[in-house]
Amino acid sequence: MNVPDRNMALELVRATEAAAMSAGRWMGRGDKNAVDRAAVNAMRYMLNTVSMDGVVVIGEGEKDQAPMLFNGEKLGLGCEPKVDIAVDPVDGTTLTALGRPNAVSVVAVAESGTLYSPKHIFYMNKIATGPEAGDVIDIELSATENIKRVAKAKRKAVEDVTVVVLDRPRHEELIGEIRSLGARIKLIPDGDVAGALMTCKEDSGVDLLLGIGGSPEAVISACAIKCIGGNFQCKLWPRNEEERVRCLELGMDVDKVLYIDDLVRSDNVFFAATGVTDGELLKGVRYGGEAIFTHSLVMRSKSGTVRYVEAIHKSRKLYEISGVDYRTSQI
C-alpha cells in the first residue's frame, strides 16, 4: 500500500475559517469594504503559514490596491509543492454587509500551471449541475433544452427543476425563457460559487445554474465541482468591443467552450469553503463570547473525499498565537 500524500485542503480550511471569522464581525453593518479587508488580512496571514510555494492565479485587484489578494502574489512558506491558488476571501461581500444569506470564504489549490487564467475578462457565461445530470448539459444549447435534459436525467418533471440565476438585468431574457417553460427559479443577488455548489448538493433543492457571472468565480467553482462531482462549462463573455478585441490579440477564442478540464487541468485539486452567513450550502459564523463556531466544506478531487467540518475556536487563544484579533471587528 502506498503511503498517502498530504491533503492540503485540511490546511487550507484554516485560512477560510480565519477569513470567515474576521469578516463575519461585519455582518449587516453596511460596509462591504470592511468585510473584504477583514477577510483578506486574516486569509493572507493563514495561507502564509502553509507549507507550499504558491502563486495566486485567481485573485482580485492589483498589488497597489491592497488589501486585496492580488494576481501573482506569492503565498506560503516557499517550500514544495509549487501550486496555483484561487481565492475569494468572501464570495458575497455585499451579502455579508447587508446580512443576507449564502456568503462564503473559499480557497482552491492545484499543481502549478494547471489553473486557467481569464486575464482581462471579468465575466463568463456558465452552466453547472450535479453528478446525476453532469453528462447531459451543453452550454451551446438553449436554456430550455438544458432544463429538459436535466429533468429527464433526474427523473423529474420540468416544473420540478429549480434553476439558480444571478438577479441581474442582463438575465431578463434568460429568466423569461425559464419562466415560460414552467421551471422554478432561485434568484440570487450575489455569490455564484455557492450557487454552483448548490447544484451538486443533494438536499439543496437546486438542479442547475445558468447565466453570466464573474470569471474568477468560474474557475473556483470548477475546482469545487471537480472535487465533489458534477459538470461545469463556460464561455468568455466580453463586456464590450474593447475586451473582445483584446481577446483576439491574446489568442483567446470567445466562442470556444471551456470545459471543466480546461479550467482545471489537474486531477489533484484541493478546495475549502467556510460559511460567513447562513445559507443552503453552509451555516454562517456564530459568536458566543470566547467561542466562535464555524461550518466548513473540505474536499480533494484525487480521493473524492468530502468533509463537513464544524469547529469551535477560542478567540483569545487564537489571538495569542496569531496576532489576528477575532474578538473585535478591527483587523
Helix orientation angle between 143-153 and 172-181, rounded to the nearest 10 degrees: 50
Domains, the chain, in order of start with CATH, read: 6-113+266-318 (3.30.540.10), 121-261 (3.40.190.90)
User: Above 50 in pLDDT, residue 2?
Assistant: no
78 is in an annotated binding site: no
169 is in an annotated binding site: yes
- Is residue 184 within 8 A of residue 159, CB to CB? The reply is yes
pLDDT reported for residue 61? 52
Average pLDDT score over residue span 16-40: 94
d(CA 91, CA 95): 9
Average pLDDT score over residue span 183-194: 93
255 is in an annotated binding site: no
160 is in an annotated binding site: no
With b meaning 16 or more CB within 10 Å and e meaning fewer, what string describes 172-198?
A: eebbebbeebebbbbebebbbbbbbbb
170 is in an annotated binding site: yes
- Tell me how far CA of residue 207 lies from CA of 116, 137, 177, 182, in angstroms: 26, 11, 17, 14
Q: DSSP class of residue 81?
A: P
265 is in an annotated binding site: no
Q: Identify the helix (H) or strand (E) that includes residue 46.
A: helix 32-47
C-alpha cell at 168: 441581474
54 is in an annotated binding site: no
Evaluate if pTM is beyond 0.75. Answer: yes
Helices (H) and strands (E) in the chain, counts: 10, 14
168 is in an annotated binding site: yes
179 is in an annotated binding site: no
323 is in an annotated binding site: no
Taking only the tens place, the pLDDT of each residue in 37-87 is 999 999 999 999 999 999 999 986 543 444 578 888 999 999 999 999 999
64 is in an annotated binding site: no
